[in-house]
Chains A and B, each alone.
Chain A
Amino acid sequence: AQKVTQAQTEISVVEKEDVTLDCVYETRDTTYYLFWYKQPPSGELVFLIRRNSFDEQNEISGRYSWNFQKSTSSFNFTITASQVVDSAVYFCALSGKDSWGKLQFGAGTQVVVTP
């Protein structure tokens, strides 16, 4: 069975601080995909990144960066110099060979950025 754990329920930071969101996953598949989605107060889930299990390179996109470590089954997400617009719930998700499009989501981490 697949499982995604986001242990942090809520993180509060002051604008310009960095924030790291943890994601730990469990799967028996050797090939799998990991995702991060953002859900702002408007409610619509917004895709941020997809990473397959064979690509352990870290990725940076603007103020966002992701650290994928298979050895610890983690796929952590860092927001650098946070802004109020980053306030949202962030979900980590996993899909495997059972169904590539069927995502197992974590419980989500609420990020609150105050000015």
Chain B
Amino acid sequence: GAGVSQSPSNKVTEKGKDVELRCDPISGHTALYWYRQSLGQGLEFLIYFQGNSAPDKSGLPSDRFSAERTGGSVSTLTIQRTQQEDSAVYLCASSLSGGAGANVLTFGAGSRLTVL
């Protein structure tokens, strides 16, 4: 597609429920990233996929968070047993590759998650 597409744009859930957030990167972009933006923590890196390599999960805050990328394209971020501190905007980004010189990230509009 023309840009990075994320869904849903808004999600309200109850504490303890699981949520799935979806990201459709720009066609042809091999690298995909998830970031989280919250008032207290700013913009935080969560996870990074590059081609068929094992993802870099170093930013995931707990084992309740996981992500997968199917067929090298669409990615789903899953948060299990949501907590109120998970409330944030979850941003997906993609880039042509993860290599030096091709690391300009294009961001989606984000999925705003509110945990009640």
- B-contacting residues of A (Cβ < 8 Å)? 31, 33, 35, 37, 42-47, 50, 52, 91, 93, 95, 97, 99-108
Contacting pair A101 B109 (CB below 8 A): no
Contacting pair B42 A45 (CB below 8 A): no
B29 to chain A, nearest CB (A): 10
Q: Does B91 contact A (CB under 8 A)?
A: yes
Q: Does B79 contact A (CB under 8 A)?
A: no
- Chain B residues 87 to 104 lying within 8 A of chain A, measured CB to CB, are 89, 91, 93, 95, 97-104
Contacting pair B109 A102 (CB below 8 A): no
Contacting pair A101 B31 (CB below 8 A): yes
Contacting pair B107 A102 (CB below 8 A): no
Contacting pair B105 A47 (CB below 8 A): yes
The A-B contact count (CB < 8 A) is 63
Complex: A53 Cα to B99 Cα, angstroms: 15
Q: Does B25 contact A (CB under 8 A)?
A: no
B28 to chain A, nearest CB (A): 15
- Majority secondary structure of chain A interface residues (helix, strand, loop or mixed): strand
A-chain residues with CB within 8 Å of residue B56 when the two chains form the complex: 99, 102
Contacting pair B33 A50 (CB below 8 A): no
Complex: A44 Cα to B100 Cα, angstroms: 24
Knowing A43-B89, A45-B91 are in contact, say whether A99-B98 is a contact too (CB < 8 A): yes
Q: Which residue of A lies closest to B110 (CB)?
A: A43
Contacting pair A101 B103 (CB below 8 A): yes
B-chain residues with CB within 8 Å of residue A42 when the two chains form the complex: 109
Contact of A101 among B33, B89, B107, B110 (CB under 8 A): B33
A38 to chain B, nearest CB (A): 11
Apart from A45-B107, A101-B97, 12 more pairs, CB < 8 Å? A31-B100, A42-B109, A44-B108, A45-B93, A47-B105, A47-B106, A52-B101, A99-B98, A100-B99, A102-B33, A102-B45, A104-B45
B-chain residues with CB within 8 Å of residue A46 when the two chains form the complex: 107
- Chain B residues 13 to 39 lying within 8 A of chain A, measured CB to CB, are 31, 33
